[in-house]
Structure 1
């Protein structure tokens, strides 16, 4: 018989986290634990209000999961089927699947990589994300956080003031940049006006400039922007369909959006088959969640796994970062 529990954790941030949708000083996540015969598996739930997830919803849906025979689940496959039947929030679905997968690995004396049939990857070079801020704050921010050690920086931008921010970052950081608009633009012409002024800037790609469902805007600018355009909010738990290739150059796969290891792996595989670039991303998470993403990091083009580097104190310490490179301290 399985014993399930859900624990809320509050994660103060190292600095205000401002993106186009709002500002946060701390993040609330949950940790799912499942135990059986002295073995234990854990998974993180980093819920996101952008996807209509909330603390209350996670707690209510976890209770719904318990009420539908969670203690009697006998396999990972049956858990995935139950989670799908109950239509649980994607972040909770991942936390449950992750906990069960890690329990199964431990009880069968296998690593999580052996259970998932994927190679273990060491030495992941992540980007580091700059929240939205005034240009006058950028020099101090880059210096204080020693961001020159990262192979790339990702800049959160809005529909106004982006050019000034990017130009200021370029004064103090010479590596490649990634831009993340978080759906801030609603006009292709204003976005193309920005990209026209950025032709000489080493930008690896631009994430989600327009609202997730405004596919015609993506279709319009894909061949005009001069930069790779990546889907983030446009890809949640669904399939990477052939239409994605007409709209985007790459996809940002996050386990908290995908809803599980299996869905995340399928999204990455399908994207590669379609010729799309792939990135593994994250929410603001502890190293439990980041190490989970690292578990499926084989054959991925870009990594944006800095979530645990944004929090003041990591309760798991599963990941160490050295010179912008992530490695396991231990495999959960």
Structure 2
């Protein structure tokens, strides 16, 4: 097996702001794994919150390149166990695992959702994310991208007022992501007001380790709460069970499709709603997420829609949120 690594700096269509940071570009690492004449592609973005850079991920892979290239690839699950033995960070694991899954599908000549025995005729529509900005700019973004479901990033002094103003301009479903910016009291107070404004659920309102606060929120919130920063890896799913109504799985944070599928299974066993989210990836990462959609209740895979220019072809997300799955097997990815 051969490895190729390339860094891209993705240009965003708009400055993207959440409660803790703003950025106009997103660095990302694309990994290509080639075997028996086929090439699979994987992706992991840099992330200052988790202290991950493309350079740090690349250095990790280069340090174990020989151990990876000498591996006799048979399937993604066995390959993942081999990668785990190399003590790689989750973001790096993700890029390699996505590439391995794409490669596996291409070797078998089937899309991943078919290999997994799922039916892609039914899947949730992705939301489109509106980052924190002036109310006027947020309204402009709504009008620029009419969409059936919006995720609204909040974490300001006027969060309910922002949603009230946005509601005047669309009848679409709202989902709120406070990115750890609220207290339990704020969340409980805001929830009924936001519910009346057509909000479907709240994503990670409290700090990731505020379990006492989340117990209060789950008991008293008028809206369901979905874990994000509190649910990083497989062991977090069971921990989140008593405190949340659902979990948002990020492939980069958990280590790829292989552990994500196990997290989905465990979450369903616990009666949790299941969402998979993105980290502003290109169509390489988004197309991998799309393969999971038949298994999900919610999905946030708008990363490629937030870019000025994509670097790959894969799934196509239409104006109404519907998805066209590519005919190419695996995750259906081709680099441009």
Q: Same fold (TM over 0.5)?
A: yes
Q: Which one of the candidate residues 181, 203, 206 is aligned to 1:207?
A: 203
Residues 238 and 270 in structure 2, CA contact (< 8 A), matched pair in contact too: yes
Whether 1:137 aligns to 2:133 is no
CA deviation digits over 1:156-203, x for unaligned, max 9? 000422112111110101122100011112x32233232243341211
Q: Distance in 1 between matches of 2:312 and 2:122?
A: 19
Could you list the runs of 4 or more consecutive aligned residues of structure 1 that deviate by over 6 angstroms after TM superposition?
none
In structure 2, what is the equivalent of residue 277 of structure 1? 273
In structure 2, what is the equivalent of residue 33 of structure 1? 32
Residues 281 and 305 in structure 1, CA contact (< 8 A), matched pair in contact too: yes
Uncovered stretches (5+) of structure 1, i.e. residues with no partner: none
Query: Normalising by structure 1, what TM-score?
Result: 0.92
Query: Normalising by structure 2, what TM-score?
Result: 0.91
In the superposition, relative to structure 1, how do residues 325 and 77 fare at CA in structure 2: closer, same or farther (>3 Å)?
A: closer
In structure 1, what is the equivalent of residue 41 of structure 2? 42
In structure 2, what is the equivalent of residue 104 of structure 1? 104
Whether 1:21 aligns to 2:10 is no
Cα displacement (A) at 1:72? 2.9
In the superposition, relative to structure 1, how do residues 111 and 127 fare at CA in structure 2: closer, same or farther (>3 Å)?
A: closer
Residues 152 and 177 in structure 2, CA contact (< 8 A), matched pair in contact too: yes
In structure 1, what is the equivalent of residue 177 of structure 2? 180
In structure 2, what is the equivalent of residue 81 of structure 1? 81
CA deviation digits over 1:136-166, x for unaligned, max 9? 32332222x232xx22111000042211211
In structure 2, what is the equivalent of residue 95 of structure 1? 95
CA deviation digits over 1:184-235, x for unaligned, max 9? 12x3223323224334121111000111111111011112121000001111
In structure 2, what is the equivalent of residue 328 of structure 1? 325
Whether 1:239 aligns to 2:235 is yes
Q: Distance in 1 between matches of 2:122 and 2:307?
A: 23
Task: Output the aligned Cα RMSD.
Answer: 1.9
Residues 105 and 115 in structure 1, CA contact (< 8 A), matched pair in contact too: yes
* Structure 1, 107-116 or 253-262: larger mean CA deviation: 107-116
For 1:118-129, list aligned pairs within 5 A. 118-121=118-121, 124-129=124-129
For 1:214-253, list aligned pairs within 5 A. 214-253=210-249
Q: Which one of the candidate residues 160, 165, 171 is aligned to 2:162?
A: 165
Partner-residue secondary structure (3-state), 1:211: coil
Q: Distance in 1 between matches of 2:22 and 2:317?
A: 25
Residues 4 and 71 in structure 1, CA contact (< 8 A), matched pair in contact too: no
Partner-residue secondary structure (3-state), 2:293: coil
Residues 192 and 224 in structure 1, CA contact (< 8 A), matched pair in contact too: yes
Partner-residue secondary structure (3-state), 1:192: helix
Q: Distance in 2 between matches of 1:216 and 1:159?
A: 23
Partner-residue secondary structure (3-state), 1:198: helix
